Amino acid sequence: MSRLKDKLHDKIEAQRPRINKLLKEYGDVIIDEVTVSQVIGGMRGIKSLISDISYLDPFEGIRYRGYTLPEIFEKLPKPAGADMPYVEGLVYLLLTGDIPTEKEVEEVLDEFQKRRILPRYVYEVIDAMPCCSHPMTILSSAIMTMQRESFFAKKYKSGINKLEYWDSTYEDAMNLLAKLPEIGTYIYTKLYRDGKRIQQNPNLDFGSNFAHMLGFEKPFDEVSRLYFIIHADHEAGNVSAHTGHLVASSLADVYLSIASMINGLAGPLHGLANQEVLRWLIELYDKMEGKIPTEDEMRQYVWDTLNAGHVVPGFGHAVLRKTDPRYMLQREFSLKHLPEDPIFKYVDLLYKVVPPILLEQGKAKNPWPNVDAQSGAVLWHYGLREYDFYTVMFGIGRAIGICANIVWDRALGFPLERPKSITTDMVEKVAFNPKAKRSKKKGSAE
């Protein structure tokens, strides 16, 4: 057993009694109430999932294993001379809850290097995808194709004990994560570089190797590490995380679950918003013939978007009620590395003009920018102009968090997820009862 797996084993053994005690002795304690608006309105804010991998506070933003993102960037080991930490260190942290030492990061690097080779048929499936397939569709299909490799599926068939499920799930998770940079970059070269593939460099870390295979020079390795780390997890209720967990709860293996999570991420209200932001900004850039709009011109563009019945991509959030710290980290990066970039100037202008407009319109509960408002501008600046590809990078990052969640779901024996639906008649019967209790909660995400 690897030392990471050993440690994970000990952590799992320590966590199981906590969950068992909660279930056996406190199972009937009430945690939350559910209102009509939550039942009709996408279950916003109902506390009905558990995950220790990350937690999202509406005002503070995301914490991974209790650490804020600035703490993560400060504490995780970094390659020599780099500002952005090893992605491998984040994998270790999310799985175990501990900040790894340099040596422990090296072990994850070794693990990934042993597992990084992609079966030939995956290239063939990518090659065979019909013209104009979206890169996220290809990514999902490539992952699905590898389902035949699942250790968990094989072990399950052979009849292993429930308590051992996590072990083969961990193997699947590490195997898939190690291969994702190759899958993602092959999709990129296939779609946009005539299939001219750059071979992996086994001496490079996850982020650097990704940048290398994409064909981008430094500091794109830093951008990749930043990108994968900030997108890794956003607690358990968002569409991609929830989908991954839901599908895995049926004991579908990591490949089936992560392909499903990628499909959820590919919607424009979720991960695809990063490509939508760039598409929307480039439309304006072309209209302005490359000039920087005045504040009034930008305001007009935003109002035109709203008046056409569209959302302003990159703004708003189902849980956050302030500017997303993932946005702020990328903004700081941009102010340092690309302050004069015209698209960054557009993004900067949006940061000023959009929140007052959304407040004036009075619909969005959160008028502030989310992660997707800024991320495309950084990739665009460094030459990654094919914005349809941006969500693939989001998906690779997000797979890290979801894989950690699925390993723990299996370890703690979380059951099949199966909430209850009711009919409109039933909701009306409760709602129209003169004695119906009303919630004192202000916002649905509280």
- Residues known to be catalytic: 270, 317, 372
Q: Which is nearer to ligand HAX, 122 or 273 (CB)?
A: 273
CA geometry: angle 397, 270, 330, nearest 5 deg: 55
Segment contacting ligand HAX by CB under 6 A, of 217-225, 267-275, 413-421, 423-431: 267-275
Dihedral sign for Cα atoms in the order 108, 113, 114, 115: positive
The site map against ligand HAX for 317-346 (x = CB under 6 A) is xx----------------------------
Among 271, 293, 325, 401, binds ligand HAX (CB under 6 A): 271
**For the chain, what's the residue count?**
446
Is 269 near ligand HAX (CB under 6 A)? yes
Nearest to 208 by CA among 88, 64, 69: 88
Nearest to 188 by CA among 56, 383, 428: 383
Among 366, 374, 375, 405, binds ligand HAX (CB under 6 A): 366
Among 372, 376, 390, 393, binds ligand HAX (CB under 6 A): 372
CB 219 within 8 A of CB 209: no
Q: Which is nearer to ligand HAX, 218 or 363 (CB)?
A: 363
- Residue 100 CB, shortest distance to ligand HAX, in Å, is 27
Nearest to 7 by CA among 75, 108, 152, 87: 108
- Residue 394 CB, shortest distance to ligand HAX, in Å, is 7
CB 245 within 8 A of CB 236: yes
The amino acid that residue 281 corresponds to is L
Q: Which is nearer to ligand HAX, 224 or 370 (CB)?
A: 370
CA gap 314, 272 in Å, rounded: 10
- Residue 343 CB, shortest distance to ligand HAX, in Å, is 17
Cα distance from N-terminal residue to C-terminal residue, the chain: 43
Q: Which is nearer to ligand HAX, 40 or 117 (CB)?
A: 40
- Residue 404 CB, shortest distance to ligand HAX, in Å, is 18
Chain position whose Cβ is nearest to ligand HAX: 316
Segment contacting ligand HAX by CB under 6 A, of 169-177, 333-341, 365-373, 406-414: 365-373
Long-range CB pairs of 434-438, under 8 A, 24+ apart, other chains included: none
CA gap 226, 230 in Å, rounded: 6
Q: Which is nearer to ligand HAX, 166 or 280 (CB)?
A: 280
3-state helix/strand/coil string of 214-233: HCCCCCHHHHHHHHHHHCCC
Round the CA-based radius of gyration of the chain to a whole number and report it: 22
Is 205 near ligand HAX (CB under 6 A)? no
CB atoms within 10 A of CB 224: 29
Give residue for tokens 């995956």. 122
Among 21, 363, 385, 429, binds ligand HAX (CB under 6 A): 363
Is 270 near ligand HAX (CB under 6 A)? yes
- Residue 145 CB, shortest distance to ligand HAX, in Å, is 25
Per CB under 6 A, contacts with ligand HAX among 211-240 are 238
Segment contacting ligand HAX by CB under 6 A, of 89-97, 205-213, 366-374, 379-387: 366-374
Residue 40 is encoded by which pair of tokens?
């009709």
Among 226, 364, 396, 403, binds ligand HAX (CB under 6 A): 364
Segment contacting ligand HAX by CB under 6 A, of 77-85, 100-108, 126-134, 361-369: 361-369
CA gap 366, 359 in Å, rounded: 8
Per CB under 6 A, contacts with ligand HAX among 281-320 are 306, 311-318
Q: H or E element: which one contains 62?
A: strand 61-64
Q: Which residues bind to ligand HAX, rule: CB under 6 A?
A: 44, 238, 269-271, 273, 306, 311-318, 363-366, 370-372
